[in-house]
Amino acid sequence: MLWLPLIYFLRRAFIGGSFTGGVWALLLGSITAFVQFFLGDLISPGGFGYTRALYGFIDIICIPALIPLFIYFLMILLRRFQGDIDFGSFVLLWLIPTAALRALSWSALNDPVLLILVPLLWTALAAGISFFVKWMTDNFHVIKLLVSVICIPALPVAAAVTYWAFFSQQTFLGYCLLIVTFIPFGFSVYLDIARREN
């Protein structure tokens, strides 16, 4: 759980500026986390096959990390944000209450895949999708658009398959996919540092 605040403050140190959407992110993230907690899983976990992969994609990885994406763009359309807006920081703040509630429920399972890997994958999605959105909108180009349109939906799929691979004890495949999901995160951090130095 502590990984998400750490990465949030690290990003804020690099990009600087004010961030007025932080209160919205924490408030809406808390409400969503409680709703998800009481509703439970949408998909039955199943064993090690297709249903486990679908469960990982929907309930473990994508719903917590992608709901903020839709809310973020909806709030931009409704002009609820003012000042500097950073999607990556918004999602990381949103995920802190989710991570806290999930840590309480998952700690009884004592499963490192859930307690360690899943927050890392959420972070990779938050920073990775943010990177592709910024890259696509800065100096718009058709090639950037095509690459981003392919990579943005591919990133959650890669994260979900990473979860499934570690859960299925296919660790080599899991580590390879984990590296792939963190490549956009690495570019995002590098660009944040480069912008800060310039």
For 31-68, the pLDDT digits (tens) are 777 777 777 667 766 666 677 778 878 888 888 878 88
User: Does some domain include residue 52?
Assistant: yes
User: Does some domain include residue 96?
Assistant: yes
User: Does some domain include residue 14?
Assistant: no
User: Does some domain include residue 66?
Assistant: yes
In 1-140, DSSP assigns E strands to none
Contact at 8 Å (CB) between 93 and 26? yes
pLDDT at 20: 55
User: Does some domain include residue 6?
Assistant: no
Instruction: Give the model's confidence band at 8: pLDDT under 50 very low, under 70 low, under 90 confident, else very high.
Output: low
Tell me how far CA of residue 169 lies from CA of 37, 139, 165, 172, 173, in angstroms.
27, 42, 6, 9, 9
State the total domains in the chain.
1
Straight-line distance from the first to the last Cα atom of the chain, in angstroms, rounded to the nearest whole number: 32
Across 74-103, average pLDDT: 71
User: Does some domain include residue 156?
Assistant: yes
Range among 46-50, 136-140, 180-184 with highest mean pLDDT value: 180-184
pLDDT at 85: 57
Burial of residue 103 (CB within 10 Å: 0-12, 13-18, 19+) is middle
User: Does some domain include residue 9?
Assistant: no
Measured at the alpha carbon of residue 173, what is the angle toward residues 172 and 178, in degrees to the nearest 5? 100
Across 176-188, average pLDDT: 89
Q: How many CB atoms lie within 10 A of CB 51?
A: 13
Burial of residue 8 (CB within 10 Å: 0-12, 13-18, 19+) is buried
Question: What sign does the dihedral 161-167-173-174 (CA atoms) show?
Answer: positive
Residue 100 is part of which domain span? 21-197
CA dist., res. 122 & res. 195, Å (int) = 24
Q: pLDDT higher for 74 or 155?
A: 155
Is residue 115 scored above 90 in pLDDT? no
User: Does some domain include residue 143?
Assistant: yes
CA dist., res. 147 & res. 48, Å (int) = 32
